[in-house]
Amino acid sequence: MSFAVFADGTANLPKNLLGDIRLLPCEYLADGQPQVYHGDVDSFDGHAFYESLKAGSVIQTSLLNTDLFLTHFEPVLKEGRDIIYISMSSGISGTFNAARIAAEELMEKYSERFIHIVDSLGCGFGNGILALRAEELGRQGRTAREAAAVLDDEVPHVCQYFTVDDLNFLKRTGRVSGITASIGTVLNIKPILFGDATGHIISCAKVRGRRKSIEALAQKYEEKRKRDKDQRVFISHGDCSQDAQTLAGLIREITPDASITVCQHEPFSGAHVGPGMLGLFFYGVER
């Protein structure tokens, strides 16, 4: 490959899919104590993490800063390789801008090199899918500039829908009001959320009951999936593996030959959606 592919821990990629993708660490505070998540979702103890959230643990996350990108990108440029970094959505984090600033600084210093920051407009597998695509393009012999153009064109087709079990976590991050969270909890209302065209998380539907929310995710897949390509589907969950398997079963009823990856949802963004989060990610006709 003529270029290196970078993502970060939010990409949610298990080791069997990583290949040569390089994951940058995500730092956060858990009850005031510094934690570093390096992206190893296989060894991530999701049960312990989400149980701690249920017990009231307070998680504070921050953007990946410019110095982090400078430190990890420059050795690759010195090797004579270009770089593509798949960033979490600019609509939910300042990480994209931090990476862009680092790229501009480094390309002034290494004028013969090319760095492209892809705004995935998503998180979790929402940027993991694009990291996998970037590596695939590299192995096909595409240059970084060619791959960058393809990836930017494909961003609008990465669909990401999810539901949550406890609206109070969305209340803490300002996604829903306190009144909405209270009423929703009492009435067992489950929102269906998605990353829109600007990378912001918004609600596209509300249903009553957990089973209905799982079925609603499968219905979104039926509506949005591309019929003309092999289906790779990704499901992540906040320590609710049985619900994830139920969703996978519904997806297989729609496309029996779909390749489905199921794993825990990483902690960095998982802290904002809480235990019981269930997410569905795939290539579709549109977001």
- Give the 3-state DSSP-derived string for the chain, with helices as H, strands as E and coil as C: CCEEEEEEHHHCCCHHHHCCCEEECEEEEECCEEEEECCCCCCCCHHHHHHHHHCCCCEEECCCCHHHHHHHHHHHHHCCCEEEEEECCCCCCCHHHHHHHHHHHHHHHCCCCCEEEEECCCCCHHHHHHHHHHHHHHHCCCCHHHHHHHHHHHHHHEEEEEECCCHHHHHHCCCCCHHHHHHHHHHCEEEEEEECCCCCEEEEEEEECHHHHHHHHHHHHHHHECCCCCCEEEEEECCCHHHHHHHHHHHHHHCCCCEEEEEECCHHHHHHHCCCCEEEEEEECCC
Across the chain, mean pLDDT equals 91
- For residue 198, the model assigns a pLDDT of 86
pLDDT tens string 87-106: 999 988 899 999 999 999 99
- For residue 92, the model assigns a pLDDT of 86
Look up the pTM and report it.
0.93
Confidence of residue 168 (pLDDT cuts 50, 70, 90): confident
- For residue 84, the model assigns a pLDDT of 98
Give ∠ CA 281-224-122 in degrees, rounded to 5: 35
Q: Going by C-beta distance under 8 Å and a sequence separation of 6 or more, which residues neighbour residue 159?
A: 194, 220, 221, 224, 225, 280, 281, 282, 283, 284, 286, 287
Please, are residues 17 and 39 in contact by the beta-carbon 8 Å criterion?
A: no
* Beta pairing partners, 160: 281
CA-based diameter of the chain, in Å? 59
Please, are residues 199 and 119 in contact by the beta-carbon 8 Å criterion?
A: yes
Separation of alpha carbons 279 and 124, rounded Å: 9
Counted residue by residue, the chain has a size of 287
Confidence of residue 181 (pLDDT cuts 50, 70, 90): very low
pLDDT tens string 246-266: 999 999 999 999 999 999 999
Q: Is the pLDDT of residue 164 over 70?
A: yes
Neighbour tally for 115: CB within 10 Å: 26
What is the mean predicted confidence (pLDDT) over 41-58?
Answer: 95
Q: Which residue has the tokens 């701690």?
A: 52
Enter the tokens of residue 260: 């489905």
Cα distances (angstroms) measured from residue 102 to each of 105, 118, 133, 219, 287: 5, 14, 23, 41, 29
